Amino acid sequence: MSSIVEKTAVGQAIDRVEGHLKVTGKAKYASEFPVPNKVYAQGINSTIAKGEIVSIDTSEAEKQEGVLKVITHQNAEKLKTFEEEPAAISTDSIAPVLQDHKVHYYGQYIGVVIAETFEQAQYAARLVKVEYRKEASPAIIFEKNKDKAYRPKESSDYSRGDLEKGLSEADEIIDAVYNTPIEHHHPMELHALIASWENGGVTAYASQQMVEDATIAISETFQIPQEKVRVIAAFVGGGFGSKLKVERQVILATMASKMIGRPVQMTVTRHQMFTNTGMRQRNEQHMRIGAKKDGTLTALAHETLSHTSINEEFQESCGMVSKMLYKVPNNLVTHRLMPMNLQTPFAMRAPGEATGSFALECAMDEMAWKLKMDPIDFRIKNDTQTDLSEDQPFSSRLLVECLRIGAEKFGWEKRNMKPRTNKEGNWLKGYGVSAASRNSPYKETHSKVILKQHKDLVEATIKMDATDIGTGSYTIIAQTAAEYLKIPVEQVSVELGDSDFPVTPGSGGSWGAASYCNGARAACEKALQELKKKLNIPEAEEVPVAELLQKNNLMEYEAEGSAKPSEEFEKHSVYSFGANFCEVWVDKDTGMWRINRMVNVGSAGRILNPKTAYGQIIGGLTMGAGMALAEQTRVEPNFGNFITRSFADYHVPVNLDLAQIDVIFLPEEDKIANKMGIKGIGELGITSVAASIGNAIFNATGKRMRDLPITPEKLITAPLEPGVQA
């Protein structure tokens, strides 16, 4: 399935084609469009977690200079609401807001102020007086709501074989619970949009990952035809999942524009990014693993408990990874949710794998230690080329190669299996490893190519509604067009992020690169094909595109193409794989840690641009390090507000926290995945990073840290694992 990539336009480490636009400030992000006559909206957030609004007094706010309107549930437009609650939500779900007087979580929007300036709107928002009837016991403490856990409507439960039998056949069993806290995405660009309502429809300059789904969500919420909604998301400053679906501010600004008849800009504050733009919920993952003395797995159970909101249902399927990663005959995966008075969680980078692989890959390390086996050998022993959960082969799977090559690069042979043996002064040093896998979807994508002749040069423009969320979409699409049209990259321009352009699945779930590039490829191939056909030139014959236009007497030519998954694709499980290695030092007295180095090896199909691909992986590793060691959103247990509400108290890693990072891509082309051999890498980088760090910390200290983040205070008070010598 794999072959070495040849040297072409695709595969070169070129600079970002839109780089100069970004560094000169010409790339327009949502709130930067100079829409004339625009005004500003500021959302008002509830200050209770559960209850009802008894009254809202907006009179003082309305008197202020520049204030145009205050919208609350008393005067809001009627929108489509959920038919039943909790509603299972997705990337194109409706987002009703201000439709009644009920409050389900702290920070919920209860109103919005529209004013001529941003400052006027902010000031007036503080003058709105709200009287609540507060319910005494909101559901905000995870541990106290376990009796309400239910099986979600769209259940992801799974089993094969007989788990109890598998456990009874085992020589050793690991039975452990792993906790991951609430985390927030926090892209650099705040959620923002400018909505302009005109002629019964809206143009929204929005910071969204998925343009088509945003048009669906807006049109459904307002009950207008989809053609009446135009979404423009030309540049998006990061998303990480928080911009997959439309959040309430998109609807609020649109509603405000409709009500006052002027364009409305709404940019949320960093504080509101905690309460109004989704989050990763807390997960409690119960792992049970059984293995024979020789390392053969006999049983694997992965059971997750998390929370959702009162009126919407979202589940992160943490156990997915435990269905497919190893050859284990007896397998059980369950997922339960508790409705809680917190905002609805949603997908955050590698939903399922990021958290699930922390539990699985730590538990695998615990088992390897119990079996006195090298954790790499243990994983290799249980490798499989068949996805047992789907009973079909992987399109390609180079996990063993990732582990072996990584081990060599990292110097794994120097590791001592016994914890607390590698020391230097006060530092305890540890080595950790983990395996990574991430589903690599590929979705139907449409694209247009416009060819223009300038003297004897041909310039091409590619258009599609794809987004570039900082990942490099513009660049890899330009490289693809250059490759298939056989023209230099400099002669290609790419226009993205407009719902008037051909439909793509948008950026999410690591399907962007494969889908966008194959869509662009199809359009270019179509153009060449049609131009040859007009001249009766056989399809296989190579003719320069300039010559084709000239011979056809055409100055300009336009074609549309589309690509979608093949039958072969459907008959295989398509995943990217990887291995993470890290060296962590822990101060034996203070518990302070540092990551000394990381090695990541990825097998992710054809690498379109090593520079942008590298950016994705180091971003993922950094986010994984944050997840392991620092990131957590804390809930105040009485009021239900988040007490971490800025970067001063929600800690993310900085350069100094990540010393040396080596990223290696194995040369690979997966032709079953798609014609161009591409697989996803956007989420592979974060996957299982936290486990490799946790495992390194065990190797350093002899302490099993099963609750993230692994803060120094937790580390210093944690007990030594039984059998470890101090």
Cite the active site residues. 683
Structural element, H or E, at residue 701? helix 689-701
Helix residue spans in 462-563 (DSSP H)? 473-485, 512-534, 545-551
Which residues make Cβ contacts (< 8 Å) with residue 570, sequence separation at least 6?
Answer: none
In the bound complex, what is the minimum distance in angstroms from residue 353's beta carbon to ligand MOS? 10
Phi, psi dihedrals of residue 594, rounded to the nearest 5°: -150, 140
Given the complex with ligand MOS, which of 351 and 356 has the nearer CB atom? 351
d(CA 48, CA 58): 18
Query: Does residue 475 touch ligand MOS according to CB under 6 A?
Result: no
Q: x/- string (CB under 6 A) for ligand MOS, residues 177-216?
A: --------------------------------x-------
With CB atoms as reference, the residue minimizing the distance to ligand MOS is 241
Closest contact distance (angstroms) between CB of 681 and ligand MOS is 12
Please compute Rg for the chain using Cα positions. 27
The residue assigned the tokens 């209850």 is 51
Binding of ligand MOS by 509 (CB under 6 A): yes
| 441 near ligand MOS, rule: CB under 6 A | no
Tokens, residue 215: 């048009």
506 lies in the binding site for ligand MOS (CB under 6 A): no
Cβ proximity to ligand MOS, 525 vs 683, nearer residue? 683
**Minimum distance between the CB of residue 348 and ligand MOS, rounded to whole angstroms?**
5
Q: Which of the residues 580 through 609 are near ligand MOS (CB under 6 A)?
A: none
**Cβ distance 526 to 560 under 8 Å?**
yes
By three-state DSSP, how is residue 650 classified?
A: coil
Kindly tell me which residue out of 508, 512, 624, 694 binds ligand MOS, with binding defined by CB under 6 A: 508
- Closer residue to ligand MOS in complex, CB, 105/240: 240
Considering only residues 43, 187, 239, 497, which one is a binding residue for ligand MOS as defined by CB under 6 A?
239
What tokens does 461 get? 């423009």
Could you tell me which of 378, 410, 382, 413 has the C-alpha nearest to residue 397? 382
- In eight-state DSSP terms, residue 331 is E
320 interacts with ligand MOS by CB under 6 A: no
Select the span of 240-248, 305-313, 428-436, 607-615 touching ligand MOS (CB under 6 A).
240-248
CB of residue 321 vs ligand MOS: minimum separation in angstroms? Answer: 15
If you search the block for the tokens 């792992």, which residue do you land on?
287
The stretch near ligand MOS (CB under 6 A) out of 239-247, 255-263, 418-426, 637-645 is: 239-247
Determine if the peptide bond prior to 86 is cis (ω within 30°).
yes
Question: Cα–Cα distance between 345 and 633 in angstroms, integer?
Answer: 12
- Asked whether 573 and 394 are in contact (CB, 8 A), the reply is yes
Using CB under 6 A as the binding rule, the residues of this chain from 403 to 422 that contact ligand MOS are none
Among 53, 193, 244, 586, binds ligand MOS (CB under 6 A): 244
**Residues 329 to 358 in contact with ligand MOS, rule: CB under 6 A:** 347-349, 351
Q: Which two tokens stand for residue 413?
A: 């042979």
Please, what is the minimum distance in Å from the beta carbon of residue 246 to ligand MOS? 14
Report the C-alpha gap between 45 and 55 in whole angstroms.
Answer: 15
- Mark the segment that binds ligand MOS (CB under 6 A) among 73-81, 235-243, 246-254, 619-627: 235-243
Strand partners, 205: 194, 232
Binding status of residue 685 toward ligand MOS by CB under 6 A: no
Which residues sit at the interface with ligand MOS, rule CB under 6 A? Answer: 209, 239-241, 244, 347-349, 351, 508-509
